[in-house]
């Protein structure tokens, strides 16, 4: 399985500069106590919250299905004194496709439709005031995917509607099956399909000095970026042998006595 990163917030050396409505960008720490840029919001004492943060434009680079890994921490509502019942421990993930980086501070509008909701994200672990005092980091990691995507790129948005949370890291990637030689054939790198259950067919080409014995020569790339369902094969041609775990067909070294045949009449043979 191979992954290709499209965006990783932890690699930023300066401000991320995402568009906020009205989250706050601050310096924070990951689980290894490395300094990173994070976004946080905590308006739990005000009802009817609708707080958004939008990434910069992300080019999809031919990918049809996008994966988003999110690391975040959420405050336990029950640990906040006098907090109203509107306090939440979840947030929403959205995406918006576009052929160009055309978003403004107000467009697309901060609402579902035109934004497409991927999922509501819940924390497996939340932290309390006691954890803060002991500097205990309770970081959640969740991965979601969406597709098919067809425009040149997209934006991601995270909607808080009444929680106290920190968005620590966001990594956006797609999956692909790597270049491989198997069954005597070469298969080029192939992107996974638009759905998690998709199987993308790839045609193989026989390696040098090999020929098809079963056709067609195919492999299928699944949604996890893994090759599967091999069909057909190539075998080394006569006078060649498979070496290096079947990835190379090497010409056989044939030794024959010069007394039986003139060396000048032997092609690709060695006299002893």
Confidence check: pLDDT of 251 > 80 = yes
Question: 131 and 114, same structural domain?
Answer: yes
Question: What is the model's pTM?
Answer: 0.84
Q: Which CATH number goes with the domain that contains 203? A: 2.60.40.1770
Identify whether 24 is part of a domain: yes
In three-state secondary structure terms, 46 is coil
pLDDT bracket for residue 141 (50, 70, 90): very high
Same domain, 30 and 104: yes
- 165 with 214, same domain: the answer is no
- C-alpha–C-alpha distance, residues 39 and 73, integer Å: 11
If asked whether residues 166 and 193 sit together in one domain, one would say: no
End residue of a domain, out of 175, 199, 216? 175
Reduced to 3 states (helix: H, G, I; strand: E, B; else coil), residue 80 is: coil
| Domain presence at residue 9 | yes
| 7 in a structural domain | yes
Q: Are strands 200-203 and 210-221 parallel, antiparallel or unpaired?
A: antiparallel
- Residue 85: is its pLDDT beyond 90? no
Q: What is the pLDDT of residue 12?
A: 87
What residue numbers bound the domain in which 148 lies?
2-175
pLDDT at 259 over 60: no
Q: Are residues 89 and 27 in the same domain?
A: yes
Same domain, 230 and 146: no
Q: Which residues make Cβ contacts (< 8 Å) with residue 231, sequence separation at least 6?
A: 214, 216, 217, 218, 219
**Which of 158, 175, 192 corresponds to the end of one domain?**
175
Q: CA separation (Å) from 126 to 11, 30, 104?
A: 26, 16, 33
Q: With CA atoms as reference, report the closest residue to 228 among 236, 238, 218, 237.
A: 218
Residue 252 included in any domain? no
Domain count for the chain, please give it: 2
Reduced to 3 states (helix: H, G, I; strand: E, B; else coil), residue 234 is strand
For residue 27, what are the CA distances in angstroms to 13, 33, 35, 95? 11, 11, 7, 25
The reply to whether 184 falls in a domain is yes
């Amino acid at each position: 399985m191979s992954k290709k990163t499209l965006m990783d917030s932890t690699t930023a050396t300066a401000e991320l500069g995402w568009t906020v409505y009205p989250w706050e960008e601050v310096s924070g720490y990951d689980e290894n106590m490395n300094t990173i840029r994070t976004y946080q919001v905590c308006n739990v004492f005000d009802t009817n919250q609708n707080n958004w943060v939008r990434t910069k434009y992300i080019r999809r680079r031919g990918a049809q299905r996008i994966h988003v890994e999110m690391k975040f921490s959420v405050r336990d509502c029950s640990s906040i004194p006098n907090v109203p019942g509107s306090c939440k421990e979840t947030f929403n993930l959205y995406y918006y496709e576009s052929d160009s980086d055309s978003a403004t501070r107000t467009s697309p509008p901060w609402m579902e439709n035109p934004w497409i909701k991927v999922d509501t994200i819940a924390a497996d672990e939340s932290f309390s005031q006691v954890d803060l005092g002991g500097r205990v980091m309770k970081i959640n990691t969740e991965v979601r995917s969406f597709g098919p995507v067809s425009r040149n790129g997209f934006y991601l948005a995270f909607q808080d509607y009444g929680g106290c949370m920190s968005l620590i890291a966001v990594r956006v990637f797609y999956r692909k099956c790597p270049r491989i030689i198997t069954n005597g054939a070469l298969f080029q790198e192939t992107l996974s399909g638009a759905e998690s259950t998709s199987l993308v067919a790839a045609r193989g080409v026989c390696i040098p000095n090999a020929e098809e014995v079963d056709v067609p020569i195919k492999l299928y790339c699944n949604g996890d970026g893994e090759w599967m369902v091999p069909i057909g094969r190539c075998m080394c041609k006569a006078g060649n042998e498979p070496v290096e775990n079947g990835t190379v067909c090497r010409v056989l070294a044939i030794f024959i006595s010069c007394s039986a045949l003139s060396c000048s009449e032997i092609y690709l043979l060695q006299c002893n």
